[in-house]
């Protein structure tokens, strides 16, 4: 009888423990949610906010419509210091004023990325973009030297080579009417990051149907859609009812490619480390991956291949789409503003004359006005239109209490249009970034590469690449934009891109003497 009772009591006890644990977890989640709800109640909010669902049912499913919806919100609340949105049970305070952005970005307590970044973990792991705490600090300290100016100079050769290939492709379009240049520029940027980050040329400009190329874009779209739909946040729901299978299939392509490259590069380094340079009689071109394979932690241990893959995948993702978008927006703006276009070409004439030589570091330093054009393009069309942080402790923003565990989302697109610091903010005026015109402007009024502790480690690389590629195009062609600003319809996925591409006309530039 005792044996019979015990055989029933064991599963009964297990069920009781499970129910008790579930009840406790539900209580904790509910109490946390209600605490945030009441603490944040005074903060202005969008209409149509419901308990537990928040604003999720309001959000447009189409990425372009969703971005325009966020634009409308920031215009509606322009005179308010901030407002809030609830994405399901997760609260976001929306920031678009320099003083409030500074409050978050300068405080190390708020360094952790928001919950929505978790959906990048399967792809990027916890590399520099997504990691936090000690791991982030350790990685940042270790990787910063790999972006030293002298190392970036070595990458200049790759940038010039790929820019020359792009110019050769564009020559076939010159004088033949309008075309969408977006993919041409993007594939050039992808070739540059592949060769500089991994030491492997994937010839994307020649083979745009590459499975890896397609998978990079597909994964960005998949992650962005999941971030906007909280009912797909739980993994089991996403895997059975969402795009889980497509996500995993795409992920396998991306990881297989980078894993294979890392393995091959590691073997190559170990086999030829000592004598490869002497055999060839010239210095071997180093890639970011080579430096990672030789980098050690403070305790002397080398990075594991998994550690390296996190960083390589991160730089492959963040290192081409962002710069490609910026260059495309710059071409549209120059093609739409003949006076700025003329000033850039006059500057190029002063620096290069009639020579067709590749750009060097001294040339790039002299391209002051082109740099202003790039910065103004990034103001109007920031490559990353919004980014988010987790609030690490109770704080006050513009007099409103924001509890620990809430999220702050910084709308770069709206921040850069603050008329206090950028009069007539929708106008394209590169002169805003001449040194004399930036005096007195708050540093957190313009953050295309984020700012503070977690600013973009690759921003100098990006600016160098953009100068090389844009100068190569503008030394060879005159550009005319074929779209008005209202035709562009920016789409705010992980990267800000035009919904219908960038349509331009090119004419071969006459050599000036």
Q: Which two tokens stand for residue 37?
A: 């709800």
* Residue ranges making up the domain that contains 252: 56-274+283-508
Q: Which of 470, 479, 465 is nearest to 191 (CA)?
A: 465
pTM (2 d.p.): 0.90
* Rounded distance between C-alpha atoms, residue 57 and residue 52, angstroms: 11
CA distance 445 to 453: 16
Integer angstrom CA distances of residue 96 from 195, 415, 486, 489: 37, 4, 22, 21
CA-only gyration radius of the chain, Å: 25
pLDDT in the model for residue 7: 55
| pLDDT for res 281 | 45
CA distance 77 to 74: 5
Quick check: is 31 in a domain? no
Measure the CA–CA gap between 369 and 433, rounded to whole angstroms. 9
Distance CA 22, CA 467 (A): 56
> Number of helices and strands (H, E) in the chain?
20, 11
pLDDT tens column, 356-392 = 999 999 999 999 999 999 999 999 999 999 999 999 9
Asked whether residue 7 is assigned to any structural domain, the reply reads no
From first to last of its 513 residues, the chain has per-residue pLDDT tens of 444 445 556 566 667 776 777 675 665 678 888 889 899 999 998 887 777 777 888 888 788 888 898 899 999 998 999 999 988 888 999 999 999 999 999 999 998 888 889 999 999 998 888 888 888 888 888 888 877 767 788 899 999 999 999 999 999 999 999 999 999 999 999 899 988 888 888 888 887 777 887 888 789 889 988 888 888 989 999 999 999 999 999 999 999 988 888 888 888 776 665 554 444 444 567 788 888 888 777 777 788 888 889 988 888 888 888 999 999 999 999 999 999 999 999 999 999 998 999 999 999 999 999 999 999 999 999 999 999 999 999 999 999 999 999 999 999 999 999 999 999 999 999 999 999 999 999 999 999 999 888 888 889 999 999 999 999 999 999 999 999 988 888 988 788 989 889 999 999 987 654
By 3-state DSSP, what share of the chain in percent is helix, strand and coil, each rounded to 5?
60, 10, 30
CA distances from 113 to 8, 38, 274, 388 (A): 47, 24, 41, 6
Per the listing, tokens 């010839």 go with 203
* Residues 144/147/148/152 CA torsion (nearest 10 deg): 180
Take residue 211 and report the two structure tokens written for it. Answer: 């499975």
Mean pLDDT of the chain, nearest integer = 87
The CA-atom distances, in angstroms, between 271 and each of 254, 302, 423 are: 26, 17, 59
pLDDT at 408: 95
CA distance 211 to 296: 33
pLDDT tens column, 283-313: 567 788 888 888 777 777 788 888 889 988 8
CATH code for the domain of 306: 1.10.630.10
Q: Comparing C-alpha atoms, which of 379, 378, 383 is closest to residue 497?
A: 383
**Rounded-to-integer distance, Cα 220 and Cα 107, Å:** 29
Can you give the pLDDT at residue 149? 67
Whole-angstrom distance, CA of residue 234 vs CA of residue 442:
40
Dist. CA 231–CA 7, nearest whole Å? 39
**Vertex 437, ends 432 and 440: CA angle to 5°?**
120
Residue 390 falls inside a structural domain: yes
Q: Is residue 143 part of a domain?
A: yes
| Residue 388 domain-assigned (yes or no) | yes
Nearest to 383 by CA among 413, 354, 361, 403: 413
- Residue 171 in domain: yes
E runs forming strands in 80-138: 83-87, 90-95
| Distance spanning both ends of the chain, measured CA to CA | 107
Q: Which pLDDT tens digit goes with each residue over 41-90?
A: 999 988 877 777 778 888 887 888 888 988 999 999 989 999 999 888 88
Rounded distance, CA 286 to CA 309, Å?
Answer: 17
Is 47 part of any domain?
Answer: no
DSSP 187-243: HHHHHHHIIIIIS----TTT-TT-HHHHHHHHHHHHHHHHHH-GGG-SHHHHHHHSS
Give dist(CA 246, CA 342) in Å, integer. Answer: 47
- C-alpha dihedral over 214, 412, 407, 235, to 10 degrees? -10
* CA dihedral (262, 266, 268, 269) positive or negative: positive
CA 494, CA 496: separation in Å to the nearest integer? 7
| φ/ψ of residue 410, rounded to 5 | -100, 115
Both tokens of 43, joined, read: 């903060």
Q: Please indicate, yes or no, if residue 15 is contained in any of the structural domains.
A: no
Looking at the structure of the chain, the number of domains it has is: 1
Q: 492 pairs with which residues across the strands?
A: 496
């Amino acid at each position: 009888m005792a044996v019979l009772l015990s055989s029933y009591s064991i599963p009964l006890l297990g069920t009781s423990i499970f129910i008790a644990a579930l009840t406790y977890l539900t209580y904790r989640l509910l109490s946390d949610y209600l605490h945030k709800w009441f603490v944040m109640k005074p903060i202005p909010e969008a209409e149509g906010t419901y308990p537990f669902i928040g604003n999720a049912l309001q959000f447009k499913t189409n990425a372009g419509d969703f971005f325009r919806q966020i634009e409308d919100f920031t215009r509606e609340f322009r005179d308010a210091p901030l407002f809030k949105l609830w994405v399901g049970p997760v609260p976001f305070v929306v920031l678009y004023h320099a003083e409030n952005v500074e409050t978050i970005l300068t405080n190390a307590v708020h360094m952790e990325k928001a919950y929505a970044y978790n959906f990048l973990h399967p792809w990027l792991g916890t590399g520099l973009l997504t990691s936090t705490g000690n791991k982030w600090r350790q990685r940042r300290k270790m990787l910063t030297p790999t972006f030293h100016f002298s190392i970036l100079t070595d990458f200049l050769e790759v940038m010039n080579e790929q820019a020359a290939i792009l110019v050769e492709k564009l020559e076939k379009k010159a004088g033949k009417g309008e075309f969408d240049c977006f993919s041409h520029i993007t594939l050039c940027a992808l070739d540059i990051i592949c060769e500089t980050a991994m030491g492997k040329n994937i010839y994307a400009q020649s083979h745009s149907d590459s499975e890896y190329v397609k998978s990079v874009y597909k994964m960005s779209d998949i992650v962005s859609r999941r971030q906007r739909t909280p009912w797909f946040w739980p993994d089991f729901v996403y895997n059975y009812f969402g795009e889980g299978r497509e996500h995993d299939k795409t992920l396998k392509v991306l990881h297989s490619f980078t894993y294979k490259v890392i393995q091959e590069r590691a073997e190559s380094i170990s086999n030829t480390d000592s004598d490869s340079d002497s055999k060839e009689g010239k210095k071997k071109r180093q890639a970011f991956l080579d430096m990672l394979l030789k980098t050690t932690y403070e305790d002397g241990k080398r990075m594991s291949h998994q550690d390296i893959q996190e960083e390589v995948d991160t730089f492959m993702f963040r290192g081409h789409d962002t710069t490609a978008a910026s260059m495309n927006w710059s071409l549209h703006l120059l093609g739409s503003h003949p006076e700025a276009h003329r000033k850039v070409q006059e500057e190029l004439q002063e620096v290069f004359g009639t020579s067709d030589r590749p750009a060097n570091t001294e040339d790039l330093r002299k391209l002051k006005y082109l740099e202003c054009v790039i910065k103004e393009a990034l103001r109007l069309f920031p490559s990353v239109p919004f980014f988010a942080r987790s609030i690490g402790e109770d704080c006050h923003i513009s007099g409103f209490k924001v509890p620990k565990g809430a999220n702050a989302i910084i709308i770069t697109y709206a921040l850069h249009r603050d008329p206090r610091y950028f009069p007539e903010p929708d106008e394209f005026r590169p002169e805003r970034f001449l040194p004399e015109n930036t005096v007195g402007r708050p540093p957190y009024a313009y953050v295309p590469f984020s700012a503070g502790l977690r600013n973009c480690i690759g921003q100098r690389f990006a600016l160098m690449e953009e100068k090389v590629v844009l100068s190569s195009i503008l030394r060879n062609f005159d550009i005319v934009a074929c779209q008005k600003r209202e035709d562009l319809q920016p789409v705010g996925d992980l990267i800000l891109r035009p919904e219908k591409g960038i349509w331009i006309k090119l004419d071969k530039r006459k050599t000036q003497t």
